[in-house]
Chain A
Amino acid sequence: MNNIKNQSIIELLKEKSLWVRKETLNIHKVAPETRLASSLSDVEIFVALYYGGILKFNPKNPRWEERDRFIISKGHGAISLYPILADLGFFDKSELGEVCKESSFLGGIPDTMIPGFETINGALGHGLGVACGSAVALKNKNSAAKVFVLMGDGELFEGAVWEAIMFAGHHQLNNLILIIDNNKISMLDYCRNIIDLTPIEEKLHVFKWKVKTIDGHNIEEVYDSLNSLKEDKSDHPRVLIANTIKGKGVPKLENDVLCHIKSLKEDEIIKAIEELK
């Protein structure tokens, strides 16, 4: 029974992932300033959190006290969350055609004017520290809500991130779940060519985190591991390292080390949408 139910959820999440990629490309058509490649590597993560029943939220009351807090530290990479939030009723779907236009509240980098966004994270490396403060606060309130953070692997270059990693491990913030979108490319180069971050698992492990590594585009793995990390009863903060591909789903971006700053032309977008699977 469970297995059948699980399969239907996985089918739904697959469908939604495809739809979100398509919608993200459509947004990019309207707003070429958006960071497309960064917003394609985290699609399965967003989809599992929002459609897989993992994140507690209320579109009619985005600041609902019992919601799980979701801080998207790689702010620029959350364009793919716009269609999800619209689909779930945080705001009207018609807004998706207005991204970056005058009078729209949906910018090239999301901010807190958008219903559903907890924090503003245009500058990188701040989200985890803020999440630590929220996690302490929720424990102090005896709240059952959890704090989720999405961070890019490139953000691990920021020193403040390690201040937060140490803090969370020491304070046993077991209501904190960090997801690293490990797409392995920052703006100019592969991370391994800048400063090799590997082995990320071992580094976080010795900082007293519970670590799990998965294929971040295998929706079943994303869904199952987020569920198990959320239900885990240990005293450690948790980190899910999702190995992903920057620009996932768009061949023109997938193999390009400079894809972070690449914009696609309209005909390329149309072709990319046709090729999505």
Chain B
Amino acid sequence: MNSDQPKTMRDVFIEAVCEKMREDERIFFVSADFGSPALDKVRENFKDRFINVGIAEQNLINVAVGLGLEGYIVYAYAIAPFITMRPYEQIRQSLAISSQVRPINVNLIGVGAGVSYDVSGPTHHCLEDISIMRLMPNFTVFSPSDWKLAEGFVDYSVKVSGPKYLRFDSKPLPSIYGDIGDLDFKKGFYELLNPPTGGEKVCLVSTGFMTHLALKAAKELKDIGVVDVFLLKPVDEKSLFESLKKYKYVIAIEEGFVNNGGLDALVSKIILDNQSDIRFKRMGFNDKYVFELGGRDYLHKLNNLDEESIIKTIKECL
């Protein structure tokens, strides 16, 4: 665990995009009236390649598509529930469907994964996006757990064409990864904790912010594996199963609705398809929106998703 200063994924990512924009004139940045300190630099330095479309997420997507069809690499930026759910049909028709025939590189950056906008309430929580964005063919869904992954994805997003959804946390978070220089983004996951051979009983498979809690919980106990899944689509199912098959129990943990096509669906599908006898558990939000007020820790506690609950679930397996 790296102990440097917490950072927001969006600022680190946009900072790196800003650097790219200096050398690559094909990059456009479009926002639906959503900002960040790093974005101020883009607005200042690239007046002809930055557009604020206003509070108009449908047009945000359409304008991004028009630019993308003309060969530009586009970043479209808004709050996570609004960039995914308001313009879902624009995304479906002009990105998911269209990109099967016409190449396009449009990257949707959604800020506010899970309940990271804790006290803003259920409209600003984003618990559906993993399921609904994974649903569409031709999409890449990126869910980093720290700012280092987010930063590293800038190169990938430029080089690998196609429509992508980047699910960013809104809060500053410490880094988890060290040097990600040779990280294989295509593989889509990384084994952060590996118990010694022979001792593999429980593995926590998590994404986004939950990887921070999974690591904390795992370190309270002995010989717990932690796998961070940062690409929720496409998934290298074969490699992921290779990493999971040595465990007796696998627990999928996500800051999203469970039983509805999220990370839990992805992991359980791999287990089932391989006719494996791995025992599977899932942790996440149940089928209710969260109206309670309080910080993220409190909301997690109420929904049995805090560190204590993870430890308890692990102990049930041991």
In the complex, A130→B53 CA distance in Å? 13
Q: Mark B83-103, 1 if CB is under 8 A from A, else 0.
A: 000010110111001100110
A185 at interface by CB-CB < 8 Å? no
- Given the interface contacts A160-B59, A164-B59, does A126 sit within 8 Å of B90 by beta carbon? yes
Chain A interface SS verdict (over half): helix
Chain B interface main SS type: helix
A132 to B89: give the CA distance in the assembly, Å. Answer: 18
Which B residues touch A199, using CB under 8 A?
none
Nearest A residue to B61, CB-CB: A129
Chain A residues with CB below 8 A from B48, complex form: 140
Contacts of A121 in B (CB 8 A): 93
Query: For residue A140, which residue of chain B has the nearest CB?
Result: B48
Knowing A111-B101, A119-B94, A120-B98 are in contact, say whether A129-B59 is a contact too (CB < 8 A): yes
Complex interface: chain A residues within 8 A of B87 (CB): 160
Report the separation of the CA atoms of residues A140 and B73 in the bound assembly, to the nearest whole angstrom: 13
Q: Are B101 and A130 in contact (CB under 8 A)?
A: no
Residue of A at shortest CB range from B53? Answer: A167
**Shortest distance in angstroms between A135's beta carbon and chain B's nearest beta carbon?**
7
**Nearest A residue to B74, CB-CB:** A133
Establish whether residues B56 and A167, one from each chain, have CB atoms under 8 Å apart when the complex forms: yes
Number of interface residues of A (CB under 8 A): 30
Cα A126 to Cα B64 in complex, Å, equals 12
Q: Do B72 and A137 touch (CB < 8 A)?
A: yes
Cβ contacts under 8 Å, A112 to chain B:
98, 101-102
CB distance from A155 to the nearest CB of B (A): 13
Whether A163 contacts B59 by the Cβ 8 Å rule is yes
A137 surroundings in chain B (CB, below 8 A): 28, 66-67, 69-72
- The answer to whether B266 has its CB under 8 Å from any CB of chain A is no
| Interface check A30, CB cutoff 8 A | no
Question: Using a CB-CB cutoff of 8 Å, which residues 104-157 of chain A contact chain B?
Answer: 111-113, 118-123, 126, 128-138, 140-141
Kindly report which residue of chain B lies nearest to residue A121, judged by CB atoms: B93
- Would you list which residues of chain A between 159 and 177 have a CB under 8 Å from chain B? 159-160, 163-164, 166-167, 171
The reply to whether the CB of B49 lies closer than 8 angstroms to some CB of chain A is yes
**Residues 24 to 43 of chain B near chain A (Cβ within 8 Å):** 28
Q: Are A118 and B69 neighbours in the complex by a CB distance under 8 Å?
A: yes
User: How far apart are B98's CB and chain A's nearest CB, in angstroms?
Assistant: 5
- B69 and A129 contacting across the interface, CB-CB below 8 Å: no
A160 touches B58 (CB 8 A): yes
Which chain B residues lie closer than 8 Å to A122 at the CB level?
Answer: 93
Contact for B66 among A111, A113, A133, A166, CB less than 8 A = A133
Query: Considering the chains assembled together, what is the distance between the CA atoms of A129 and B63 in angstroms?
Result: 6
Question: Is the beta-carbon distance between B69 and A119 smaller than 8 angstroms?
Answer: yes
Taking CB atoms and an 8 Å cut-off, the chain B residues in 90-122 that contact chain A are 90, 92-94, 97-98, 101-102
CB distance from A3 to the nearest CB of B (A): 39
Report yes or no: B62 in contact with A126, Cβ–Cβ below 8 A. Answer: yes
CB distance from A91 to the nearest CB of B (A): 15
Question: Which of A130, A141, A167, A171 has a CB less than 8 Å from the CB of B65?
Answer: A130
CB pair A131–B66 under 8 Å, yes or no, is: yes
A87 to B59, CA, bound (A): 35
CB contact between B69 and one of A126, A134, A167 (< 8 Å): that residue: A134
Contact B64 A133 (CB under 8 A): yes
Least CB distance, B283 to chain A, in whole angstroms: 37
By beta carbon, the residue of chain A nearest B72 is: A137
- In the bound complex, residues from chain A placing their C-beta under 8 Å from that of B90 are 126, 129, 160
Contacts of A159 in B (CB 8 A): 58
> Which chain B residues border A118 with CB–CB below 8 Å?
69
Contacts of B67 in A (CB 8 A): 133-134, 136-137
Which has the most chain B C-beta neighbours within 10 Å: A112, A128, A141, A160?
A160
CB-based nearest A residue for B63:
A133
**Which of B61, B62, B98 counts the most chain A CB atoms within 10 A?**
B62
How close is A132's CB to chain B, nearest CB, in angstroms? 5
Q: How far is the CB of A143 from chain B (nearest CB, A)?
A: 9
Q: Can you identify 15 A-B contacts, CB atoms within 8 angstroms? A: A111-B101, A120-B94, A120-B101, A123-B93, A129-B62, A129-B90, A132-B62, A133-B65, A134-B67, A134-B69, A137-B70, A137-B72, A159-B58, A163-B62, A167-B59
Since A126-B93, A129-B59, A136-B63 are in contact, a sample of 6 more A-B pairs with Cβ atoms closer than 8 Å, ordered by chain A residue number, is A129-B63, A132-B63, A134-B70, A135-B66, A137-B71, A160-B58
Chain B residues near A (Cβ < 8 Å)? 28, 48-49, 51, 53-54, 56, 58-59, 61-72, 87, 89-90, 92-94, 97-98, 101-102
Q: Which 5 A-B pairs have the closest CB atoms?
A: A133-B66, A129-B62, A137-B70, A163-B59, A160-B58
